[in-house]
Structure 1
Amino acid sequence: MTIAPPALSVFETLESEVRSYCRGWPTVFDRAQGARLTDEDGRSYLDFFAGAGSLNYGHNNPVLKRALIDYLERDGITHGLDMATTAKRSFLETFQEVILEPRALPYKVMFPGPTGTNAVESALKLARKVKGRESVVSFTNAFHGMSLGSLAVTGNAFKRAGAGIPLVHGTPMPFDHYLDGQVPDFLWFERLLEDQGSGLNKPAAVIVETVQGEGGINVARAEWLRALADLCRRQDMLLIVDDIQMGCGRTGAFFSFEEAGITPDIVTLSKSISGYGLPMSLCLFRPELDIWEPGEHNGTFRGNNPAFVTAAAALDTYWADGQMEKQTLARGEQVEQALLAICEENSADGAHYRGRGLVWGLEFADATRASKVCARAFELGLLLETSGPASQVVKLLPPLTVTPEELDEGLSVLSRAVRETV
């Protein structure tokens, strides 16, 4: 008797080979609430990935969901280009009152498109327009997006190769700790800027992440960021902080650069700015940089009104009283203590950790260990992803609203996955 093999799923037969996350988590997810997802077979998974940082307030947050449903049920504007709408006005007023004014940030707000790379592209374009120069400096192991301009300031060789053309007008410099303290900070960078024979064109701007999420959870020191801001000021370069993954409270404060006490010229936000996983991004910049001509940078989906609704609700709910930052830092201490215990138990394997707030990385001497840990964690009901150029870092990115009990549960699973992959 011949038994026919099961038919391949529609994902395998129809969807492109470019898909990636589904390969590490081979199940079909159906529902989600808070820090948990459930697949179509009813199995529950604790989520320490949070939509790559797009779900800081968890899946289907009930407060944000209610605001969204109410808006849709009254036939609120869904698609609005850059037209003035009540949803946009509410978001802008809330963002100014809750975020910008308490921090004395003078920024103008631009809606460049639905994703983080749209925000980065607009920031690079504006910096070049303002300064009249082409070159932009980025940093080793940086990640800023997958469109061509963003790829030009991204470090990952695999992602850059996908462009298929030369990626020009971007120059990499060493990120903090890249040279293990053997060279004073910015010695090489400043020498190139001052030497007329260096071959470095005068940059329009420098773009930086305060914590490199995709690059391996590389955390820049506050003093390094302050020195960078000072260098940009002295050398007439704009400072762009890419806060797409680390903003919206991921490191504690709403903006990840607040700890360093700096005010970037341009800031990019996306991922969790909508609060609900809806596409939305912002490019913020000093008022004097607002030299755009009407329509000079636009996009069909730059006015996602349902995202404005959930974004305003998230700011009102979580940022008006200052408690979210304290909670995130407390949860971060909980994670750090667990990672410390894991590293002490695995010191022979070169285990070490790093992070801030609720973004952490765990790395081993064996670069292949991280992928094994994440695979075993999935089998045990925990979603984790790797990061770094060789996928050598286990990346922890739970929702900011995760409970202490859920954190303990997930960290216990992580510890078990580490033990079982020795």
Structure 2
Amino acid sequence: MTVAHPDSGVFEALESEVRSYCRGWPTIFDRAHGSRLHDENNRPYLDFFSGAGALNYGHNNPVLKRALLDYLERDGITHALDMMTAAKRTFLAAFREIVLEPRELPYKVMFPGPAGTNAVEAALKLARKVKNRETVVFFTNAFHGMSLGSLAVTGNAFKRAGAGIPLTHTLPMPFDDHPDGRAPDFGWFERLLTSAGSGLDTPAAVIVETVQGEGGINVARAEWLRELAGLCRRGDMLLIVDDIQMGCGRTGAFFSFEESGITPDIVTLSKSVSGYGLPMSLTLFRPELDVWEPGEHNGTFRGFNPAFVTATAALEEYWRDGRLEKQTLARGDQVGQALDDIAAGRPGPAPAVRGRGLAWGMEFADPARATAVCARAFELGLLLETSGPRDEVVKLLPPLTIGDEELEEGLALFGRAVRETEGPDSRKKGGNTP
């Protein structure tokens, strides 16, 4: 149930009914630092949401904030379309030196616009242009954005219905659903590709998330991803990895596909690439795919220079060595064990737990239970969201820079929220404060 904040009248009066997160978190936030937000009454909330993955380095990260303030105070360029600027040059040089070259990734860099869906739209358009084909394959429970091209490769029925028109020239396939380690099976897909009577025209590309965030923290096995990459090579299809939510270290390595050893043809990044929550996205692709004509794909806000500044600062601070990756993997093990313990300690069938790095989910048989857990967590001072096709999964995305004590605190609050939503009498003792 949505509870109106007493001072929320202007939001109720003027803001569209499409607003969503504020309905589950009925307070007015005013400031934030690190892993915590504070509302106007100065009540703190531990953030296990991280701006849907846009704040991997926490709120108002001091290193990034100092770089941004210094840049603004000297009247650095803010808006520049795709003109050459010093801030863009510095970012590109750092991205090449710190990210691309150590991983032997050959990518060209495209700035398609401010949002992740802009990066996906550019990737889809480029793949179709290169291959001169229309169809793009996507996977069940995928989420790639809310603009029409991105929606066409998104699985969620509710979101697809909002398009208002047919979403065509795409083909869904089952996401990796063999967590017990059975051999990956693309046999049916390959038969369609190779049979003269299948009726399937060869697709231009396949787009995949290595971990489906909005889809419910569904983790693809490395073997499955390698088999998919091999199928794309054999079938003359480009492989697009959408790393918008799981990139920039969320699963440990900078790119979520590194563990599998594959090299996608095209990669999309956004969310935490700016490091500070500033709008920025990248579409990366092999040099031989750079067949754009000048101005063939553009956008007003593809050159937001303050984002280049904070993105560079994030690379310099967190990615010149392997400390953040090792820390994320270690804390991921800690979260996984804690969630397993919480799930095992509950009566009845244990909720399913899955994740990688610092992206985790707990799936409940009843979607209403997942919603109740998030609502109770909010009352206790912890921000969580649901995901999955029925909102049946509680998703945990703490900042990668979260402290040990804050991580333990958040996991304890989550465990309490799970316990206190088990039955009709579970709320009698709890109250609304931690």
Normalising by structure 1, report the TM-score: 0.97
Q: Quick check: 1:30–1:38 contact (8 Å CA) kept in 2? A: yes
Distance 1:253 1:181, change over 3 A: closer
Please give the alpha-carbon distance, in whole angstroms, between the structure 2 residues aligned to 1:168 and 1:159: 15
Matching of residue 291 in structure 1 with residue 297 in structure 2: no
- Cα shift at 1:200: 1.9
Alignment correspondent of 1:211: 211
Alignment correspondent of 1:169: 169
Alignment correspondent of 1:402: 402
Alignment correspondent of 1:199: 199
Distance 1:177 1:40, change over 3 A: same
Amino acid of the structure 2 residue aligned with 1:74: R
Cα displacement string for residues 255-313 of structure 1 (whole angstroms, at most 9, x for unaligned residues):
00000000000000000000000000000000000000000000000001000000000
Cα displacement string for residues 321-378 of structure 1 (whole angstroms, at most 9, x for unaligned residues):
1111001001111101110110111261431200000000001222321111000000
Alignment correspondent of 1:324: 324
Alignment correspondent of 1:133: 133
| Other structure's SS at 1:342 match | helix
Please give the alpha-carbon distance, in whole angstroms, between the structure 1 residues aligned to 2:182 and 2:328: 34
Matching of residue 97 in structure 1 with residue 97 in structure 2: yes
Q: Quick check: 2:344–2:350 contact (8 Å CA) kept in 1? A: no
- Cα shift at 1:195: 1.9
Amino acid of the structure 1 residue aligned with 2:205: A
Q: Quick check: 1:374–1:383 contact (8 Å CA) kept in 2? A: yes
Q: Quick check: 2:184–2:223 contact (8 Å CA) kept in 1? A: no
Give matches, 1:385-396, under 5 Å: 385-396=385-396
Alignment correspondent of 2:264: 264
Please give the alpha-carbon distance, in whole angstroms, between the structure 2 residues aligned to 1:316 and 1:180: 39
Distance 1:8 1:215, change over 3 A: closer
* Aligned-residue CA RMSD (Å): 1.4
Cα displacement string for residues 118-162 of structure 1 (whole angstroms, at most 9, x for unaligned residues):
000000000000000000000000000000000000000000000
Matching of residue 69 in structure 1 with residue 66 in structure 2: no
Q: Relative to structure 2, which stretch is displaced further, 45-54 or 173-182?
A: 173-182
Alignment correspondent of 1:39: 39
Q: Relative to structure 2, which stretch is displaced further, 345-354 or 280-289?
A: 345-354
Amino acid of the structure 2 residue aligned with 1:217: I
Matching of residue 370 in structure 1 with residue 370 in structure 2: yes
Alignment correspondent of 2:355: 355
Cα displacement string for residues 43-79 of structure 1 (whole angstroms, at most 9, x for unaligned residues):
0000000000000000000000000000000000000
Alignment correspondent of 2:28: 28
Matching of residue 222 in structure 1 with residue 252 in structure 2: no
Q: Relative to structure 2, which stretch is displaced further, 227-236 or 185-194?
A: 185-194
Alignment correspondent of 1:3: none
- Cα shift at 1:197: 2.4
Q: Relative to structure 2, which stretch is displaced further, 79-88 or 346-355?
A: 346-355
Alignment correspondent of 1:382: 382
Please give the alpha-carbon distance, in whole angstroms, between the structure 2 residues aligned to 1:362 and 1:149: 30
Amino acid of the structure 1 residue aligned with 2:297: H
Please give the alpha-carbon distance, in whole angstroms, between the structure 1 residues aligned to 2:183 and 2:388: 23
Q: Which runs of 5+ in 1 are unaligned?
A: 1-5
Cα displacement string for residues 31-54 of structure 1 (whole angstroms, at most 9, x for unaligned residues):
000000000011000000000000
Please give the alpha-carbon distance, in whole angstroms, between the structure 2 residues aligned to 1:260 and 1:133: 28
Distance 1:180 1:143, change over 3 A: farther
Please give the alpha-carbon distance, in whole angstroms, between the structure 2 residues aligned to 1:124 and 1:184: 26
- Cα shift at 1:96: 0.3
Q: Quick check: 2:184–2:224 contact (8 Å CA) kept in 1? A: no
Matching of residue 233 in structure 1 with residue 233 in structure 2: yes
Matching of residue 145 in structure 1 with residue 145 in structure 2: yes
- Cα shift at 1:184: 5.2
- Cα shift at 1:182: 8.8
- Cα shift at 1:198: 2.0
Amino acid of the structure 1 residue aligned with 2:25: W
Q: Quick check: 1:349–1:364 contact (8 Å CA) kept in 2? A: no
| Other structure's SS at 1:38 match | strand
Please give the alpha-carbon distance, in whole angstroms, between the structure 2 residues aligned to 1:403 and 1:326: 14
| Other structure's SS at 1:368 match | helix
Q: Quick check: 1:349–1:365 contact (8 Å CA) kept in 2? A: no
| Other structure's SS at 2:367 match | coil
Cα displacement string for residues 401-421 of structure 1 (whole angstroms, at most 9, x for unaligned residues):
001110100000000000000
Please give the alpha-carbon distance, in whole angstroms, between the structure 2 residues aligned to 1:195 and 1:216: 34
Q: Quick check: 1:349–1:366 contact (8 Å CA) kept in 2? A: no
Please give the alpha-carbon distance, in whole angstroms, between the structure 2 residues aligned to 1:179 and 1:147: 31
Q: Which runs of 5+ in 2 are unaligned?
A: 1-5, 423-434
Please give the alpha-carbon distance, in whole angstroms, between the structure 2 residues aligned to 1:368 and 1:314: 38
